[in-house]
A and B are shown apart, each in its own frame.
Chain A
Amino acid sequence: MIVRIGTGGVVVTLLAAALLAGAAGAQAPALPPGLGGGEPKSDAAPALPPGLGGGEAEGDAAPALPPGLDGGEAEAAAPEAADGPGLIDRLPDWLHGYWEARGGLRTQEDPAQPRDATLGETRLQLETERAWRAVLLEATADVYFDGVMEEAEFDLRQLRLTWSPVDTVDVRVGRQVLTWGTGDLLFINDLFPKDWQSFFIGRDVEYLKAPSDAIKLGWFPGWINVELVYTPQFDPDRYITGERISFYNPIFGLSGRRRQVDANPPSTWFEDDEFALRVYRRLGRAEVAAYGYAGYWKSPAGQRLIPFQATFPKLNVYGASLRTPVGKGIFNIEAGYYDSRQDGDGSKMYVNNSEFRLLVGYERELAKEFTGALQYYLEHMMDYSAYKNSNFFFMPQRDRDRHVFTVRLTKLLMNQNLTLSLFTYYSPSDGDAYFRPHAKYKMSDAWAVEAGGNVFWGESDTTFFGQFENNSNLYVAARYSF
């Protein structure tokens, strides 16, 4: 706990309060305007309310009537909406965004990487929007200078048109960040692209979600909600390539910048496309949803030998979720069947097996401004024996089931200007873990500073988090919002 007032301050405050209370008790409370002999005129300056006036009316004193109740004519205020700028039009005005500087270092050497720095960049995000009668245009773009890769990058985060052709339909077209599902930093039915690299090196968590180039249609007749997202050209994850985060390659072992993933994602427009569907509604206080997806594994999930390239095999996903208050917290459960369509009966050596995935979570407040959340996550291979039989003897074999637990703890301090949080992934089956400590302090409404870490640990180099052990890093950042 951080209490900013020194002991001296407390004593002085208490003394002052005691004196004031004493004084108030000793003298009769001042008569507020409207009760005193002198009738307050409606045009008279408003009486100073207690606490501001010269005579400290404290404690049990009746308050002075505020303007509007002081016996004079209550000023009839016309609704202001008719004239003047509207509420939203007064956003100051057409341009917002932030500037930030962010740097991070590995906590140990990584033989596969030429540099100790995992992050060293300055970024400017600009955002604007414009509404014509029924159409809204939103644009967000980032420019950043990346000291680790020594290059300048442009990242268009959003360029989207939104309109409603009829009352019950919303159409959103263009580049946009899309999310659905109930998991917290775990995703089953959300197959929109993720940026794992940004996530692991300590960029703002907003960058875990990469944008899609898609059309989103929403139909909301009231009794049901239907959302369909069509992505005409497959949008893969921004997955770990070895460029700045090294990883385990089953043939070459730990690989980094010199042995990056060579991948060839499907990219033919209107042919290598993706469909994602969500149908949802509320049932009492619960939110239930069904999901469908037809597309490709979002990160490399297969290997071609000649040429030696990572592939993105076809994938269909069918799933459902439920989220509802239980006790004092929020409970969620989500499941999905990952149908790896090019794996046949599971025997294709170079294609991911089909999987059943499950997620169960619960979040609640543990104490004032202190929240805890627990999740259990399962990946279950459907054709494990076929996988085992087809795997090369020298390649590490994964377990049939991968179990992961996550814990999130969040504490707010100093009038909610300081946020301390720790998110932990731990897999008892893989024997690995990933810790994400984070502290953010809002120095003012515009300035924020933060510090955090991405700490990987594993008993083996071949497991999901264990392979990133050499990439453990700490970072700091400062951001100015405008």
Chain B
Amino acid sequence: MKRTWTTYALALGLVAALAAGATAQDLTVDEIVKKTNHVSYYQGQDGKARVQMTINDGKGGTRDREFIILRRNRDDKDEEQAFYVFFLQPLDVRQMVFMVHKHIGKDDDRWLYQREVDVVKRIAASDKRTSFVGSHFFYEDVSGRALDEDTHELVEAETDDTFYVLKNTPKNPDTVEFDYFKMWIHRESFIPVKVSYYKGGEEYRRAEALEVKEIQGFKTVTRSRMTDLRTGGATELAYSKVEYDTGLPDEIFTERYLKNPPREHLR
């Protein structure tokens, strides 16, 4: 009996490995990386969502953030993008707007509008691996990391028929705090279900997709979490009112609409 089980398991494993090998060959690592990037940041011509952010500091304290995010792709190459982030919470920054013109290969253009003083401040480029609004997500986690910043390789041994497992090693290690990060990418949807960051061989930071919904035909992560394994702190994001292809005009991403928020698109 025991023998049968072992044989069965071995056989199954072999089949799985063969299958994995076969499908992995269908796509190059480059293609996997591009599709994953597309699914994570570029689905639809534009999109909007209301985001509830709960920051848990690991010591019992929590902070809430809430914002509406409008996004528009500005080319067909999954590169140029514009973001408009309208804050609802915390209340001391209510109706503050953060706008980004995202570029690949050069620094993003970023603005902050402070309503109480009517100031449009242009923000200097910052270390992209700095906390986004005090959360455990980095600025780069929210807007995307340029693909050519890392070398990507398929971890054959761990890739199975559910996940592609990619190991990503930075080309300029001095610009980041990790040695490498691994992504478990769901084969069917190209959603990275888990992303683990390693330093000195130890995983210290982890992003997880907690819930996925299909919205207008797009598989969409509607709940996710970033955990700092060193402090136990974590930030959870919950997306609601997700919509794609709303016909968002490009002019929304200008100073006019920083000062006069496009209410019809924030509904």
Q: What residues make up the interface of A, taking CB atoms closer than 8 Å to B?
A: 4-5, 13, 17, 21, 32, 34-35, 46, 49-51, 58-60, 62-63, 65-69, 74-77, 79-81, 86-89, 91, 96, 98, 131, 136, 162, 170, 172, 176-179, 205-206, 208-209, 218, 220, 222, 225, 280, 285, 287, 323, 325, 328-330, 363-365, 368-369, 371, 415-417, 442, 444-446, 448, 479, 481-482
Interface-side segment among B30-38, B77-85, B112-120: B112-120
Report yes or no: B213 in contact with A86, Cβ–Cβ below 8 A: no
Report yes or no: B125 in contact with A87, Cβ–Cβ below 8 A: no
Report yes or no: A209 in contact with B125, Cβ–Cβ below 8 A: no
Q: How far does the alpha carbon of A366 sit from the alpha carbon of B212 in the complex, in Å?
A: 39
Query: Least Cβ distance of A212 to chain B in Å?
Result: 10
The residue on B at minimum CB distance from A366 is: B124
Q: List, in ascending order, chain A residues with CB within 8 A of B158's CB.
A: 60, 62
Residue in contact with A17 in the complex, picked from B107, B133, B230, CB distance below 8 Å: B230
Residue in contact with A416 in the complex, picked from B107, B134, B162, CB distance below 8 Å: B134
Q: How far does the alpha carbon of A32 sit from the alpha carbon of B165 in the complex, in Å?
A: 14
Residue in contact with A63 in the complex, picked from B125, B127, B193, B219, CB distance below 8 Å: B193
Q: How far does the alpha carbon of A444 sit from the alpha carbon of B107 in the complex, in Å?
A: 33
Report yes or no: A74 in contact with B117, Cβ–Cβ below 8 A: no
Query: Least Cβ distance of B9 to chain A in Å?
Result: 10
Report yes or no: A68 in contact with B222, Cβ–Cβ below 8 A: yes
Query: Least Cβ distance of B101 to chain A in Å?
Result: 8
Given A81-B241, A325-B109, the answer on whether A17 and B122 have CB atoms closer than 8 Å is no
**Interface presence of B208 (CB below 8 A):** yes
Report yes or no: B240 in contact with A80, Cβ–Cβ below 8 A: yes
Given A50-B194, A80-B240, the answer on whether A177 and B124 have CB atoms closer than 8 Å is no
Report yes or no: B131 in contact with A416, Cβ–Cβ below 8 A: yes
Q: List, in ascending order, chain A residues with CB within 8 A of B127's CB.
A: 365, 368
Report yes or no: A69 in contact with B189, Cβ–Cβ below 8 A: yes
Q: List, in ascending order, chain B residues with CB within 8 A of A13's CB.
A: 230-232
Total number of A-B contacts with CB less than 8 angstroms?
Answer: 200
Residue in contact with B109 in the complex, picked from A17, A76, A77, A285, CB distance below 8 Å: A285
Q: What residues make up the interface of B, taking CB atoms closer than 8 Å to A?
A: 50, 55, 57, 59, 61, 63-64, 68, 88-92, 94, 107, 109, 116-119, 122-127, 130-131, 133-134, 158, 160-163, 165, 182, 184, 186, 188-189, 191, 193-194, 196, 202-204, 206, 208-216, 219, 221-223, 227, 229-232, 240-243, 251, 254-256, 260, 263, 266-267
Report yes or no: B263 in contact with A34, Cβ–Cβ below 8 A: no
Q: How far does the alpha carbon of A11 sit from the alpha carbon of B51 in the complex, in Å?
A: 35
Q: List, in ascending order, chain B residues with CB within 8 A of A445's CB.
A: 63-64, 89-91
Given A74-B214, A80-B240, A481-B92, the answer on whether A178 and B118 have CB atoms closer than 8 Å is yes
Given A69-B219, A329-B125, the answer on whether A63 and B208 have CB atoms closer than 8 Å is yes
Q: How far does the alpha carbon of A111 sit from the alpha carbon of B194 in the complex, in Å?
A: 68
Q: List, in ascending order, chain A residues with CB within 8 A of B193's CB.
A: 63, 65-66, 69
Q: How far does the alpha carbon of A101 sit from the alpha carbon of B90 in the complex, in Å?
A: 20
Report yes or no: B91 in contact with A481, Cβ–Cβ below 8 A: yes
Report yes or no: B263 in contact with A136, Cβ–Cβ below 8 A: yes
New contact pairs (19) apart from A58-B203, A69-B188, A80-B241, CB-CB < 8 Å: A4-B59, A35-B161, A51-B208, A59-B196, A62-B165, A63-B208, A66-B212, A67-B212, A87-B50, A87-B68, A176-B118, A225-B255, A280-B255, A330-B122, A371-B124, A371-B126, A415-B63, A415-B134, A448-B92
Among B68, B116, B251, which residue has the most Cβ atoms of chain A within 10 A?
A: B116
Report yes or no: B88 in contact with A91, Cβ–Cβ below 8 A: yes
Q: How far does the alpha carbon of A69 sit from the alpha carbon of B131 in the complex, in Å?
A: 29
Report yes or no: B131 in contact with A66, Cβ–Cβ below 8 A: no
Residue in contact with B212 in the complex, picked from A5, A59, A74, CB distance below 8 Å: A74
Report yes or no: B260 in contact with A162, Cβ–Cβ below 8 A: yes
Q: How far does the alpha carbon of A49 sit from the alpha carbon of B240 in the complex, in Å?
A: 21
Report yes or no: B92 in contact with A98, Cβ–Cβ below 8 A: yes
Q: List, in ascending order, chain B residues with CB within 8 A of A65's CB.
A: 162, 186, 193
Given A62-B184, A69-B191, A69-B193, the answer on whether A329 and B117 have CB atoms closer than 8 Å is no
What are 26 A-B pairs at a CB distance below 8 A? Answer: A51-B208, A51-B227, A60-B158, A62-B162, A62-B165, A63-B163, A63-B184, A66-B221, A68-B212, A68-B214, A87-B267, A88-B267, A98-B91, A176-B118, A177-B116, A178-B118, A208-B117, A280-B255, A325-B107, A364-B124, A365-B127, A369-B131, A371-B124, A444-B63, A445-B91, A479-B92
Residue in contact with A67 in the complex, picked from B117, B165, B188, B211, CB distance below 8 Å: B211
Report yes or no: A17 in contact with B130, Cβ–Cβ below 8 A: no
Query: Least Cβ distance of B63 to chain A in Å?
Result: 6
Report yes or no: B124 in contact with A62, Cβ–Cβ below 8 A: no
Given A329-B124, A368-B130, the answer on whether A88 and B117 have CB atoms closer than 8 Å is no
The residue on A at minimum CB distance from B246 is: A81
Report yes or no: A79 in contact with B216, Cβ–Cβ below 8 A: yes
The residue on A at minimum CB distance from B217 is: A76
Q: How far does the alpha carbon of A13 sit from the alpha carbon of B228 in the complex, in Å?
A: 11
Given A66-B210, A74-B213, the answer on whether A363 and B241 have CB atoms closer than 8 Å is no
Q: List, in ascending order, chain B residues with CB within 8 A of A46's CB.
A: 211
Q: How far does the alpha carbon of A444 sit from the alpha carbon of B120 in the complex, in Å?
A: 26
Report yes or no: B194 in contact with A63, Cβ–Cβ below 8 A: yes
Report yes or no: A88 in contact with B263, Cβ–Cβ below 8 A: yes
Residue in contact with A66 in the complex, picked from B211, B254, B255, CB distance below 8 Å: B211
Report yes or no: B214 in contact with A77, Cβ–Cβ below 8 A: yes
The residue on B at minimum CB distance from A372 is: B124
Q: How far does the alpha carbon of A328 sit from the alpha carbon of B127 in the complex, in Å?
A: 10
Q: How far does the alpha carbon of A330 sit from the alpha carbon of B191 in the complex, in Å?
A: 36
Report yes or no: B117 in contact with A205, Cβ–Cβ below 8 A: yes
Q: How far does the alpha carbon of A445 sit from the alpha carbon of B89 in the complex, in Å?
A: 8
Q: List, in ascending order, chain A residues with CB within 8 A of B126's CB.
A: 365, 371
Q: How far does the alpha carbon of A170 sit from the alpha carbon of B263 in the complex, in Å?
A: 13
Given A285-B109, A364-B124, A448-B92, the answer on whether A225 and B256 have CB atoms closer than 8 Å is yes
Q: List, in ascending order, chain B residues with CB within 8 A of A76's CB.
A: 213-215
Report yes or no: B209 in contact with A66, Cβ–Cβ below 8 A: yes
Given A21-B202, A58-B203, A416-B131, the answer on whether A365 and B91 have CB atoms closer than 8 Å is no
Report yes or no: A206 in contact with B117, Cβ–Cβ below 8 A: yes
Q: How far does the alpha carbon of A179 sit from the alpha carbon of B255 in the complex, in Å?
A: 13
Query: Least Cβ distance of A237 to chain B in Å?
Result: 15
Query: Least Cβ distance of A50 to chain B in Å?
Result: 7
